[in-house]
Structures are given as C-alpha cells and as structure tokens.
Structure 1
Amino acid sequence: MNAPAATHPVLDDLLIDTEADNRPPPHPTPAASRGRQLLLGLSVVLIAFNLRPVFSSLSVTLPEIMATSGLTPTAASFLTTLPVLCLGLFAPLAPWLGRRFGTERTLLGCMLLIVVGTLARGSGSLALLFVASAIAGIGIAVNNVLLPALFKRDFAHRAALMMGLYTMAVCGGAASAAGLTVPLEHALGGGWPRALALWAVPAALVTLLWAPLALPLKPRASESGVTVRGLWRDRLAWQVTLFMGLQSALAYIVMGWLAPILRERGLDAATAGYVVSVSVMTQVVTCLVVPSIAARCRNQVGIAVAVAVLTVAAMLACLFAPLAGVWVWAVLLGIAQGGSFALALTLIVLRSPDSHVAAQLSGMAQGVGYLVAAFGPLLVGLLRGWTGSFASSAVLFVLIGAALVASGLGAGRTQYVRAVATAKGA
C-alpha cells in the first residue's frame, strides 16, 4: 500500500520537505484558532484516506471486470499498472505545482482529479476505465508528495503525530476499499461500475470540506537559493532509490493481484477482500515502530534484509501454502511490507546530510522508485496471461526479493550520499 511512515522525534528536524530546496526554511502559517487548526489537521488526514481506494477497490473487482467486459489478462495487467506508473511520472511535478499555485490549492485541485477519476470509473466503459484510472493516479501522485511537506510546515511541533495519523489514514483507506467494495456491490447492486464509483463519495466530501480552507490562500513567495549537485551520480543514492522502488513493486503486486490470486485458489470475493484488508491494516503497526528502531541502530542492513525476506516468504505462502493459514500469512505480509516502506522513507532521511539533499533524494527515490514499482503488477498480469496461472509469479517474487536484499545491503550502510547543497551561483 505504501503509506508514508511515521517518523521518530529524533528525525523530525530532517523530515523531508519537498519545497526545502527551493526556498528558505518555511515559516509557519499565521496564528489560527485552535478550532481551525483542528479542522486543518482533520482535513489533511481525510485527504490521506482517499489516496489508496483507487488501487484496492480495483483489485477485488478485477475478476468481475474481466468476466463481464472481456478484458484480457494482458490488458488487466496494464490497468493495474497505470495508476502506479502515474505516481512515478507525476510526483516530480508536485513541488513546482505547490510553488506555482500554493500547496493548499494544489491539494484541492488534485482532490478534484481523484473525485472525477474515481467517479468516471463507474461508467462501465473499458476505455474510460483506463483514462479515469490515470486521472485519479495523477491526483494521488501529487498529493502523495505535498501532504508531508504541509505537515512539516503547519504542524512543525506535531510532525511525528501527524505523519502517524497520515499513515493510519492511508492504510485505513486502502483496507476499507479492499474489505468493503464487494459487500457494497452485493448490497447496492449495479455491479462493478457502481462499486468502483462509490469511492468518489468520501473523496467528494473531503473536497467540499477542504475547499473553504484552500481557496482563500494565495501562493507564497518562493526564492530558489539552493541547488544540490552530485546526487544522480551517487551509488548510495541509487541503492536507496532501488530499495524504495523494489519494495513498492512488491507492495503494488499485493495491492493489485493478491485478491485475484486468492480467488483463483478458491476463496470467495468477499473473503479475499477481507484478507487484503487485514494485511494492509497490519502495516500500521510496523509503520509506526520501524522508524524509531532504525534510527537507534548502528546500521539498517539487518532490518532491510529481514523485511525483504519476510515479504517474499509471506507472498509465496499466499501463493502455495494451505488456505487454512491465509490469515497468518496476511498478517506476516502486513508486518513485513509496513516495515519495508517505513524503512525506505527512513533511509532517505538517514542517508542525507541535510534537508536540502533529503528533499532531492526523496524526489529521486519516489519518482524513479514508482516507475520501477510499476513493472511489478504489470509483469504479474503478463505472466498470468502467458501461462494461465499465477504460480509462475513465484519466480518474479523471488527475483524482486533478491534485488531488494541487494539494494538493502548497500542502502542500509551508515553513510551519507555524496551530494552537496550549495547556494546557486556559488
């Protein structure tokens, strides 16, 4: 699912700010009433809730979509990959959009994209289903990057708390869509189009709540005074990026294909959705705990290897082990994947000498990383179409896991990336 991890207080000073390299340290917003601050915090957490239903609602309805629309396994693999691809392609635009239109207004515009894209998926048209998924994916990509920056700016003294709430909200959104989409489809009728479109309702409500807060705020003055050199040539930076991308590949394989895998093995649609939901919600625990543990360790190599191995083992168990133990495998998978994503974000901070480098490394890791991640669900779908079974995906799981271990061995070392932040013109 890949929700942002909560940070430990010792990391708060280095919390990644996507705008840090483009302007001086941000000043808090003007003093506001406690009620308005609570409303602001509630709104951004609710925005976070709407960043993953697009993925998990599609996963649990994919077999019906294929059966009723004639969607081929190859086309299904591209459909599950498309929103993930958008995360990589459009995340780098987020800082520029935030500076150009203001963070709050950009978040509002992207929530509108999520509402429109999610609602349009209910048309029943396959062509529009692809287009709508891309539209929603663009909105999610930008909001993924801007929300943590807003937390640091407006909740500087509660950054760890807000990131923790953010993590839980993203997990809650993904788990809700995985667990409730099929039951809602059965209860309300209308088939998979209505089931997918229903997730536009919470997104629309949050958009209406956010609009009065965002529209009056103008973009803030921005001064670009710092540039970072040498990052893209640094080996350690690429190891951190690959760790982010490869663990995301496994996460989006689970998000996009675990329910169809379990249904092919004999679980009914609702139960398969509940299994995915339990796995996603379990991620909250390790998302909250792992950053604190990682920050206290001499290095993070052991944690990186452990979460990679456990992730692959749990995925193989879901693929081949008796279904009687599927709830155990789901919980172990959630523990491992929550830990791997939390560690990926923590490594960005720990491997950066200052916030300017951290901001650039974050953009590199998320932009390139999500492009790498897009190949995970794509290849699973292609293998299913070529072989007629998900069993062939086991080799893919192992190969990605081996590469994840290799990148973790490098990224987990106690070093800084060899990149330097300097004043422009220096």
Structure 2
Amino acid sequence: MSEDHTTAAHQSVLSMLWPMLIIAGMAINLRPTLTAIGPLLDDITATTGLGLQAASLLTVLPMLCMGIFALLLPWLGRLFSESVWITAGLVAIALASFWRLWLNDSGALIASALLAGTGIAIVQAILPGLVKRWYPQRVPLAMGGYSASLMAGGGIAAVISPLVANHQGHWQSGLGIWLIPALIALLLWWTRPRENLHISDNSVKINFFTNRRAWLLACYFGLANGGYACMIAWLPSYAQELGWSAQDSGELIGIMTIFQVIGALAAPALSAGRLDRRPWLFFAVGIQLVGFCGLMLAPELMLTSWVAMIGYGLGGCFALTLTVTLDHLSSPKLAGALTAFVQGVGFIVTAVIPYIAGALRQWSGSFQTSWLMVIVTLTFMFLVTVTFSPSRYAKAMNLTAA
C-alpha cells in the first residue's frame, strides 16, 4: 500500500473515532456528581449534619434537573446554539466540582448538586441526538459507546473519590477532583469536527405530550434508571450495614460499573444486526430481577455476584432503551427530540424512586423493602417490553403536530 493510501486510511479511521472520543469525554462527566457521594456519605453527614432524607436530595435534585431541562429543551434550544448549550453545561459541572473543594455545610452541598445537575441535564439531553447525527449508520454501536462511557465515569468516581478523600484527609477533595475531566471534556468539545448541517425537517414541530408511545418509552426509561439511582444512592450504605468499609462499598459500585460497561457495549452490539431489540431487553431486565432478588433475600451469600448481575442488566437496559427510542424515528432531529422527551419525563420518574427507597428504609428500618420496590418496577418493565415491536413503530409514532 502506498504512503498516500496509508495516510488516507489513517485519516479515515481518525475521522470515525474522533467524534466518539468527544462523545465519550463528555459522557464520562455525567455521573461522578451522583456516584461519588455514596462511599463518602458517612463522612459528609458527620460534617454537615445531613439526615438520610436530605442526603437523598444529592441524588434526587440532579435527576430532577435532568428531567426538567430535557422537557424544556425544545423551547430553550431556540435561545442559543447547540455549541453554546453544551459549553454552558460542561462549565456548570466544572464550577460545581470546583465549589465542592471547600464547602462544608449542607445547604451549599445541595446547591452544588443543583448546579451540577443542571449542567448534566443540558449535556445529557443533547448527546443522544448528536450520536444519531454523527453515526447515522451505526446508532446501536455508537449508543453503546456513549452509554459505556457514561457508566464508566460513574464507576470510576465511586472508586477514586474515597481514595482521593483518604489521601487528602477530607471528603471535599473526593468530590472536587471531578473538575479535571470536565475541563478535558470542554477542550474536546471545542475540537469537534465542523459540520455542514442541512436538516430538512427544521420547520417540523412535534408534540410528544399527546403521544402514548412517547409516554410509555419515558416511563420505561425512568424505571430502568430507577434501579441505578437506588444502587448509587443506597448500595454503599447497605454494604456498610453488612460490615463493609467505605472503601470496599465504593468498590462495589466499581464492580457494578464494570459489568454495566460490559452490558452497555455487548447488548447493542448483539442487537445491531436486527431492528427488534426485545430479546436483549428481556435478558437485561430479567438478570436485574435475579440480582435484586438476591440482594434482598441473600445479600451475605453472594453480594458481589448480585451486584455484578444488576450492573450488567442496568448497562444493557440503558443503552437498549435509548436505542429503541432512536429507532422509532429516522430523522436525527426528531429522534433527538423524542429522546429529550423520554429523558425528561424519565428522569423525573427516576428522581422519585431513590427518595421513596430512602423513605421505605427509614420507615421499615431495612433496605429489603427498598429492593422489593425495585423488583416490582422491574416486573412491570418485563411485561411492557413485549410491546416494543419494530413493526408497530410507525403506528405508535402517529404524531400530532404542535
């Protein structure tokens, strides 16, 4: 092969991989704000005086932000360009992390969660549409890469944050360290490929609020993430009740994340050859059911194994649910708008679940009732999965013009 051909081949590979590196760099920043809290929760509550219900706001508020902003995106998106919104989102995440380096009271900590949650909401609402636009022929694989990066960021934070906190001697450094990947993501975003956008459906406005399939997808997505929110909010505390240390309980989140990443990459790859994703969705939901039943009934027996099963199911379910949502519409613009709606309603549903789980724990004195609640939601999801037949997508998306 000539030198020119070799250079062209390298440039072609780079042109394919560089956008995914940018997507991954941003996605890594979408979970550390949430997952870094759990392993440090005892130290945080001891310093700030946060109670169990107030501590749940550190997870609930960012989730609510994710939902509310995604719902408002069709209107807010007209105010500024996509570039400005994503830049603003990454700056908000960076500022929240910087603020956490020195705060020491509960009000400031909750406010930082709100600021970070707003930034996460902005970036997260836009990214799936960007994935479909940059990789129109490889949506399942690209969505798997995005999902795996998002989950990897969460797991890395759960492991590294207590290590940094122990080394520096205070929990603030364990939360503030995530300023660095936010700044890296900003640099990556500013180097993105230039695009010539000629989107034929700019004038089309869709009202997903009147579409039953959009609501079903949103509730499904919300419940799918509810189990994840409960795990990152309460698994470290649950493990510590069973005698695990703060460091070891954080590593449990890390183990869960490893299997999340595997699930997020494997499930879309296995389903890439056909449009019907239901067999893999059934498996992703089913393995979570097994894991949560084990978590509730026999935690001391195989805690790590139950967490691994749950992680694999969560990873596959997240990636496949977003992929199924994008599958419903061929236009990147409309599919992105549908995904924003699904995430908007979905994350509001998700935000409520760990709060209810905390209330159940406080009421019953045991996390078993919290895991039972998740098992009920997974059973509902298992039954609903059968309705996601590709042959029904066109009829299901009989959209009403706004």
Q: 1:50 to 1:394 in 2, by over 3 A?
A: closer
Structure 1 residue 193: Cα displacement: 1.8
In the alignment, is residue 131 of structure 1 matched against residue 108 of structure 2? Answer: no
Unaligned runs of 5+ in 2: 1-10
Residue type matched to 1:82 in 2?
A: L
Structure 1 residue 125: Cα displacement: 1.7
Structure 1: distance between partners of 2:344 and 2:305: 33
Structure 1 residue 258: Cα displacement: 1.3
* The one of 412, 418, 426 aligned to 2:396: 418
In the alignment, is residue 263 of structure 1 matched against residue 240 of structure 2? Answer: yes
Q: Corresponding residue for 1:118? A: 97
* Identity rate, percent: 28
In the alignment, is residue 91 of structure 1 matched against residue 60 of structure 2? Answer: no
Structure 2: distance between partners of 1:43 and 1:356: 20
In the alignment, is residue 249 of structure 1 matched against residue 250 of structure 2? Answer: no
Structure 1 residue 298: Cα displacement: 8.1
Structure 1 residue 313: Cα displacement: 2.4
In the alignment, is residue 65 of structure 1 matched against residue 44 of structure 2? Answer: yes
Structure 1 residue 86: Cα displacement: 0.9
Residue type matched to 1:132 in 2?
A: S
Q: Give yes or no for contact 2:133–2:332 (8 Å, CA) kept in 1.
A: no
Residue type matched to 1:368 in 2?
A: V
Structure 2: distance between partners of 1:139 and 1:116: 10
Q: Give yes or no for contact 1:298–1:414 (8 Å, CA) kept in 2.
A: no
Residue type matched to 2:350 in 1?
A: A
Q: Corresponding residue for 1:177? A: 157
Q: Give yes or no for contact 2:70–2:122 (8 Å, CA) kept in 1.
A: yes
- What's the TM-score, normalizing by structure 2? 0.84
- What's the TM-score, normalizing by structure 1? 0.80
Structure 1 residue 276: Cα displacement: 0.9
Q: 1:413 to 1:243 in 2, by over 3 A?
A: farther
Q: 1:279 to 1:139 in 2, by over 3 A?
A: same
Q: Corresponding residue for 1:388? A: 365
Task: Look up the SS of the partner of 2:205 in the other structure.
Answer: strand
Q: Give yes or no for contact 1:92–1:363 (8 Å, CA) kept in 2.
A: yes
Q: 1:355 to 1:219 in 2, by over 3 A?
A: closer
Structure 1: distance between partners of 2:161 and 2:104: 16
Structure 1: distance between partners of 2:323 and 2:58: 31
Q: Which segment drifts farther, 348-357 or 390-399?
A: 348-357
- RMSD between superposed Cα atoms in Å: 3.3
Matches within 5 A, 1:6-17: none
In the alignment, is residue 225 of structure 1 matched against residue 225 of structure 2? Answer: no
Q: Give yes or no for contact 1:174–1:280 (8 Å, CA) kept in 2.
A: yes
Structure 2: distance between partners of 1:157 and 1:234: 27
What do the CA deviations read for 1:148-197 (whole angstroms, capped 9, x no partner)?
333444555776665444333222211110111112111121x2222111
Q: Give yes or no for contact 2:71–2:345 (8 Å, CA) kept in 1.
A: no
Q: Corresponding residue for 1:325? A: 302
Structure 2: distance between partners of 1:61 and 1:380: 19
- Which structure has more relative contact order (CA 8 Å, sep 6+)? It is 1
What do the CA deviations read for 1:187-223 (whole angstroms, capped 9, x no partner)?
121x22221112222223433x247548xx9998988
Matches within 5 A, 1:147-296: 147-154=127-134, 162-189=142-169, 191-207=170-186, 209-210=187-188, 213=191, 224-228=202-206, 231-294=208-271
Q: Give yes or no for contact 2:325–2:338 (8 Å, CA) kept in 1.
A: yes
Q: 1:238 to 1:94 in 2, by over 3 A?
A: closer
Q: Corresponding residue for 1:79? A: 58
Q: Which segment drifts farther, 410-419 or 119-128?
A: 410-419
Structure 1: distance between partners of 2:386 and 2:301: 35
Q: Corresponding residue for 1:307? A: 284
Number of corresponding residues: 389
